[in-house]
Amino acid sequence: MNNELLILVTEAIVVYFLVLFAHSLRNRLGLAHFYALIGSLAAVMVWTTDAGVKVELLGMSLMVGSTVFYTALLLGVFVVYVFDGPRATRIAISTVIGVSVMVPIITMVLHWQIRLAGPSQLNFFPPQSLRIYSASIFAAFADLIFLAMAWEFLGKPQFKVKLWIRAFLTLLGVLWLDVFLFATGAFAGTAGYLNIMSGTFVSRLAISFFAFPFLYLYIAWQNKRYGMELEHRPVLAILKEVSEVKLELSLAQQEIERRKQLEKEKESLIGSLQKALHEVKTLRGILPTCSYCKCIRDDRGEWHQLETYIQKNSEAQFSHGVCESCAAKHFPDVRM
């Protein structure tokens, strides 16, 4: 292994670990530092690609910008989507694309400024092709969107794809899609188009085998550490607010069910109170009573004995005895 390749591998390991470590701190620090990191890596990726820094290995040209920094960005967006959802992923994608757009604009401004200072200094900032820049930005945007869509498509329950296969195929698919989109956009119609595409396909396959263990081990570690279940979202969740809408609909449905349950409990309580009220019989108001026999007249004009009327219209029951006055009057010979 020559020194250039050793440096490339070391750079890749360090940057991959840096990205994944920054993401692992999200529960304590949030994701702001992570977005800042991937924005910086996006700028470095563009600059190293413009500079043409590469390593030759077995007939393959491994570009430092794509091998190290672009792959690190893919890993970062990958884990953000898996663990933090479409909203956080859209912020990450916006950061990467925003920085990628700003770099050529800054380069154009620097060219204009240098021309004013003196043409001899233009060699420090060689001009770049607008076509290559445009192809690079478009490919990066499409890659990151495809990443989320491929992950969800392969995660459909009916496919029963294992986690490691799902992660590897998604990563490889994104890397190969990037080759096709970028090479086609930047070099289609040129003499070396097919050679560039075929050679880059092979190099990206090698990169996917190198980067995959970092991705899979991190996903498995985070899933085990925090006890998360890898959520299955709609395939187009990254493009639309589908997951958020689904969550809101779920919460609304739960609220509706809760209110229905409360309504049932309320109706049950009202029924119980009505039944209790129906069973409670009280005597109130003026009772028409016979002055002689003490019978009571009801609402229909019928007369009832005092005991019968009270028992019928209340919960009271009667038992009979003899008071002291009546006992002395009617049973004088009996001593009480």
pLDDT: which is higher, 133 or 231: 133
Q: Is the pLDDT of residue 278 over 50?
A: yes
Query: In the structure, what pLDDT confidence band is assigned to residue 1 with cuts at 50, 70 and 90?
Result: low
Q: Per-domain residue ranges for the chain?
A: 3-240, 246-280, 281-336
**Contact predicate 171/16, CB 8 Å:** no
As a whole number, mean pLDDT of residues 220-245 equals: 69
pLDDT: which is higher, 223 or 114: 223
Q: Is the pLDDT of residue 208 over 70?
A: yes
Whether this prediction's pTM lies above 0.95 is answered by no
Lowest mean pLDDT among 33-37, 170-174, 250-254, 280-284: 280-284
- Mean of pLDDT over the chain: 82
As a whole number, mean pLDDT of residues 155-183 equals: 91
Assign domain 3-240 one CATH number from 1.10.1760, 1.10.357, 3.10.450, 1.10.10: 1.10.1760
Query: In the structure, what pLDDT confidence band is assigned to residue 242 with cuts at 50, 70 and 90?
Result: very low
Euclidean distance between CA atoms 158 and 4, whole angstroms? 45
**Contact predicate 232/195, CB 8 Å:** no
Euclidean distance between CA atoms 318 and 154, whole angstroms? 82
Q: Is the pLDDT of residue 98 over 60?
A: yes
Per-residue confidence (pLDDT) for residue 46, from 0 to 100: 86
pLDDT per position as a tens digit, 22-44: 999 998 999 999 999 999 999 99
**Contact predicate 230/223, CB 8 Å:** yes
pLDDT per position as a tens digit, 2-13: 788 888 889 999
Per-residue confidence (pLDDT) for residue 248, from 0 to 100: 57
CA atoms within 13 A on the CB side of 2: 6
